[in-house]
Every structure is written in C-alpha cells, then in structure tokens.
Amino acid sequence: MDTNSEVLIERASKQNRPALQAYASFIGKSLFSVKRDNVDPLYNKKKHEGKDPVLMLPLRKCIIEEKIIHAFDVIVDANDHLFIVFNSDKNLRFPLELPKFVKVDSMTLREALDKFEKTNETTWFKDLNLLVDEVSALNKEEARRAKALAEEFTRSAMLFDQLQKSDEQMLSDYNRELGIETDVEISLKITEEKIEA
C-alpha cells in the first residue's frame, strides 16, 4: 500500500469511526445471498441438444448461501474511494459509511435474484429468519408447479395407455370379424396338492 492510500485510510477512519465500529460488529456473524438454479443440472445441455424432457420454463430452486465474516479491511480503489472489504472478498465490498443492508421481503428477494442473473452482482442480506421464510415461499411455488406437471404427465401417460388398449381391442375385434386367428393368451392355474405320508 502506498503512502497516499495510508493517509486516505487514516483520515477516513477518523472521520468514520461509527461506520468502522458497525462493520467490526459483523466479525463472527454471517451475511447471506441468494441465487436461483435449475433443478435439473443438465437442463441447459438438454435444451441446447434438443433432447426431451425440456420444459419451456425450467423448474428452479432458490438457494441461500452463507458467508461467515472473519475479517475486514479498509481499502482505497483506483479513484481514491474508500471501501470496507470483508474476508478479502471483492464480492463483500461496501462503501465506508454506516452499513445499509436490503430489508428482506418478497420484492427485494426477487430483485436480488434477477440482479444476480442479469449482472452477476450479489445482494447481501443479514436477516436469515426473514430470508428463509421468503426463499421457502418461492421454493414451495416451484414445488406446487412440479406436482401439477407430474399430475399432468401422469394423466397423459394414462391416456396413452388407454389409446394403446383401445387400438389393440380394435385390432382384435377386426381380426375376429374377419375370422383371422390371433395369438391366444392361455392362463394356467396350477394347484398344489398336499401328499400326506
């Protein structure tokens, strides 16, 4: 670190003691982020190759990721802006001011998921209780969708079974009407007799 950066950090630290104390209070705690991913890890490959089964809208799971905070530093960027960085992780970089974390609700959760998908930028949350509630609600929506799809596919499979039986019956009736012999299924019932000695 050059002397100019050290002077900037020293001056900013004196001016921002409340912010430094607030960030220091995170040591030993965790911050949480969210991301969405396809339930089927091969979905994109199947879609690209045109393989079945590919849904137009894939089933997606919402995942909470945890970062345990064990260290923080004050850094200066190329434009002489000061930041707090947790765990030497550039994704855990915050302006040197009192911490402001996003309040957890369904809208901020969806915005965080969309932002990550579009820009790969992480939104950090500190309230795990509310985050678990909101993530569970999203995953339950997807579970309901999965169950509805499973029921629809089951009904479709039953329809195909019925069509096959109907076609086979039509063929059997047609052959019988023409007097054409078809393979006859023979059922044998074998009984066991006890022989007493």
Q: Which amino acid is at 2?
A: D
* Phi, psi (degrees; rounded to nearest 5) at 66: -110, 140
Phi, psi of 16 (to 5 degrees): -125, 40
- Name which residue leads in pLDDT, 184 or 116: 116
Binned at pLDDT 50, 70 and 90, residue 17 comes out as confident
Q: Which residue has the tokens 């019988």?
A: 176
Residue 194 has pLDDT above 70, yes or no: no
pLDDT > 70 in the chain, percent: 89
pLDDT for res 180? 85
pLDDT of residue 76 exceeding 90, the answer is: no
pLDDT of residue 62: 95
Q: What is the mean pLDDT of the chain?
A: 86
Amino acid 164: pLDDT = 92
Q: Name the pTM for this structure.
A: 0.73
147-193 pLDDT, tens per residue? 998 898 899 889 999 999 999 999 989 988 888 876 655 455 566 66
In 3D, which of 80, 97, 106 has the Cα closest to residue 5?
80
Q: Cα(84)–Cα(76) distance, rounded to whole angstroms? A: 9
Secondary structure of residue 20 in the 3-state scheme: helix
pLDDT of residue 185: 55
